[in-house]
């Protein structure tokens, strides 16, 4: 029988992607949708400015949107996907977990908390067991797992693939799509014919989340990886797909050919939403590109290309679909991991 799921922040950019991925999902059945008080009481069709490819699924379109409050979500919902603004998430997500709901969340609040697993299943699925520590410490029947920021998810799988060479220092410069800021994030007057070399708090997220993801969990505590990461983040006028330029210094010699092999052979998983191949490596120096490559693996793959030597070690470009692999798809994958590991 399918697990009954709810979506918090269902009307937003990530919420709509969640609906798109969850509606046909064989293991999940959408049973609750929430948003802000201004959407509560409206049908989903009325409340959401639907902006993703294809129509709103029929059974979702007429569902009434609720306020984002544990009392408004049916008790028989077993799993919540949260795509709330972090200011809202920091207040309401713990209340849902305290009320007994298990949650897979996108929001940036609590990602760096010591007892909150931050998970990319192909990279650090073992960190999920931090949920036992979380439940002990917080006394929750529910639980909260987070996926990282969309720009972090784009480059961390490539770093994980190179980890055997001993990661020392990483520099990353991002070219991020406008959908990463949500519907009300960047006005057209700001971004058309322009690039904005600042995204609030984004650099810190790449630098800290990557070390947590690559860290070791010993069953009780998580130690963060020692790799030094420096990030520079830019918003550009693409709709979807974050492109990143990366420089990696390693302990051991690492040729572009060995790096390409390590990335191309880095294993995917057998979860429902896992791509067959996690990292696609292009030989062409002008790939990956957002418009051409963001939909690889139904938007769940990472693309890399332009691998070459530089005076700062290995240099390459990578790309992922920010609202699928970087957000909604990442949450769904974590939901599948929770299911596989008996948390639902
Ligand atoms: N976009 C991305 O690529 C991306 C990637 C990774 C992570 N994230 C994270 O995912 C979260 C959602 O991002 P988004 O881009 O989808 O934002 P968004 O388009 O602005 O959507 C926000 C959602 O939250 C709801 N909401 C706003 N204020 C609320 C309140 N006070 N109480 C309850 N619900 C409220 C909105 O409902 P109404 O429609 O009723 O206002 C809407 O459903 C953020 O934490 C963001 O940092 C986004």
Q: Are residues 332 and 296 in the same domain?
A: no
DSSP letter at 299? G
Residue 132 has a pLDDT of 97
145 DSSP β-pair partners: 104
Q: Are residues 88 and 127 in the same domain?
A: yes
pLDDT, tens digit, 9 for 90 and up, residues 108-141: 999 999 999 999 999 999 999 999 999 999 999 9
Residue 180 has a pLDDT of 93
Pocket test for ligand 1, best of 47, 182, 330 (most atoms within 8 A of CB): 182
Measured in angstroms, how far is the CA atom of residue 39 from the centroid of ligand 1? 13
Q: How confident is the model at residue 216 (pLDDT cuts 50, 70, 90)?
A: very high
Measured in angstroms, how far is the CA atom of residue 194 from the centroid of ligand 1? 24
CATH, residue 89: 3.40.50.720
Instruction: Give whole-number Cα distances, 296 to 23, 163, 302, 324, in Å.
Output: 21, 24, 8, 11
> Residue 243: which of 292, 208, 277 has the closest Cα?
292
Pocket test for ligand 1, best of 14, 152, 180 (most atoms within 8 A of CB): 14
The total domain count for the chain is 2
Q: Are residues 303 and 158 in the same domain?
A: yes
pLDDT, tens digit, 9 for 90 and up, residues 7-66: 999 999 899 999 999 999 999 999 999 999 999 999 999 999 998 989 999 999 999 999
Q: Are residues 268 and 136 in the same domain?
A: no
Q: Are residues 162 and 93 in the same domain?
A: no
CATH, residue 199: 3.30.360.10
299 lines ligand 1 (CB under 6 A): no
Task: Give the nearest ligand 1 atom to 49 CA.
Answer: 39
Which structural domain, as residue segments, surrounds residue 34? 3-148+327-340
Q: How confident is the model at residue 183 (pLDDT cuts 50, 70, 90)?
A: confident
Q: Are residues 133 and 41 in the same domain?
A: yes
Average pLDDT over residues 156-175: 98
Q: Are residues 39 and 127 in the same domain?
A: yes
Q: Are residues 187 and 95 in the same domain?
A: no
Q: Are residues 111 and 186 in the same domain?
A: no
Contact call for residues 274 and 291 (beta carbons, < 8 A): no
Q: What is the mean pLDDT of the chain?
A: 97
Residue 246 has a pLDDT of 98
Q: Give the SS3 label for residue 51.
A: coil
Q: Are residues 223 and 131 in the same domain?
A: no
Residue 160 has a pLDDT of 98
Query: Based on the number of CB atoms within 10 Å of its own CB, is 18 exposed (0-12), middle (13-18) or buried (19 or more)?
Result: buried
Q: Are residues 315 and 331 in the same domain?
A: no
Task: Give the nearest ligand 1 atom to 177 CA.
Answer: 3
Q: Are residues 287 and 158 in the same domain?
A: yes
């Amino acid at each position: 029988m399918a697990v009954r799921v709810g979506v918090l922040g269902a009307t937003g950019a990530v919420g709509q992607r969640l609906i798109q991925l969850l509606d046909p999902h064989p293991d999940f059945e959408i049973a609750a949708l929430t948003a802000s008080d201004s959407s509560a009481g409206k049908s989903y069709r009325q409340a959401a400015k639907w902006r993703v490819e294809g129509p709103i699924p029929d059974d979702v379109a007429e569902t009434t949107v609720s306020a984002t409050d544990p009392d408004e979500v049916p008790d028989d919902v077993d799993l919540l996907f949260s795509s709330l603004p972090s200011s809202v998430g920091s207040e309401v997500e713990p209340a849902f977990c305290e009320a007994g709901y298990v949650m897979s969340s996108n929001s940036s609040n609590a990602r760096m908390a010591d007892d909150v697993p931050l998970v990319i299943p192909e990279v650090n699925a073992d960190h999920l067991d931090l949920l036992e520590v979380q439940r002990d410490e917080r006394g929750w029947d529910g639980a909260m797992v987070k996926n990282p920021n969309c720009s972090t998810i784009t480059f961390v799988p490539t770093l994980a693939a190179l980890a055997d060479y001993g990661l020392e220092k990483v520099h990353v410069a991002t070219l991020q799509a406008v959908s990463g800021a949500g519907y009300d994030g960047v006005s057209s007057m700001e971004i058309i014919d322009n690039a904005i070399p600042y995204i609030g708090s984004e650099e810190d997220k790449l630098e800290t989340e990557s070390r947590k993801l690559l860290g070791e969990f010993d069953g009780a505590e998580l130690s963060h990886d020692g790799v030094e990461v420096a990030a520079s983040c830019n918003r550009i006028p693409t709709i979807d797909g974050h492109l990143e330029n990366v420089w990696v210094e390693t302990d051991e010699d690492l040729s572009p050919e060995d790096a390409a092999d390590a990335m191309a052979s880095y294993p995917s998983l057998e979860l429902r939403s896992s791509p067959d191949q996690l990292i696609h490596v292009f030989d062409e120096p002008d790939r990956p590109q957002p418009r051409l490559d963001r939909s690889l693996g139904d938007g769940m793959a990472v693309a890399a290309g332009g691998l070459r030597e530089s005076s700062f070690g290995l240099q390459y470009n990578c790309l992922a679909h920010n609202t699928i692999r970087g957000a909604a798809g990442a949450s769904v994958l974590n939901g599948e991991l929770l299911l596989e590991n008996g948390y639902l």
